[in-house]
Amino acid sequence: MSAWQEQVPNYEFSETMALYQEGEQQFLNAYHGHYRIKYVTLPGIQRLLQLRFQLEEGKDYQLLETGIQHLTCDEETVTRLQQMLSTNWSLTKQEDGNYSVFVK
C-alpha cells in the first residue's frame, strides 16, 4: 500500500487495506481482474467498459435502453468481460462480428 500512497497521496487507503486484510486472495484476484460482479446494472456495465477496458459509448459500442450492441473489442476483452458479468446478463457475438450485452 505504501507504493500506492506515494503515487496517490490524497486517496484514503484504509478501506482498501481492510478489504485486503479480510481476504488477501480474494483481493489479489480482484486486483488482477479475476472476479465476477454479483449484480450489475446497465450503467455499471458502461462504467466497467470505460474503466477496465477503456471502451467508450458511441465509439466502441452503441447504448440502448436495455443493453449494449455493436460492441467492438478483441477476444481477450470479451473473455474477461464474460467472466466479470453477473449471471443476469448475456454477452453474445453478433453476425457482424461485434458483440451485444443484454439482460437474459
pLDDT of residue 78: 95
How far is CA 27 from each of CA 31, 61, 67, 74, rounded to the nearest angstrom? 6, 30, 29, 26
What's the pTM value of the predicted model, to 2 decimals? Answer: 0.67
Model confidence at 65: pLDDT above 80: yes
Comparing 88 with 13, which gets the higher pLDDT? Answer: 88
The answer to whether 67 and 100 are in contact (CB under 8 A) is yes
Mutual angle of helices 24-31 and 14-22, in 10-degree steps: 120
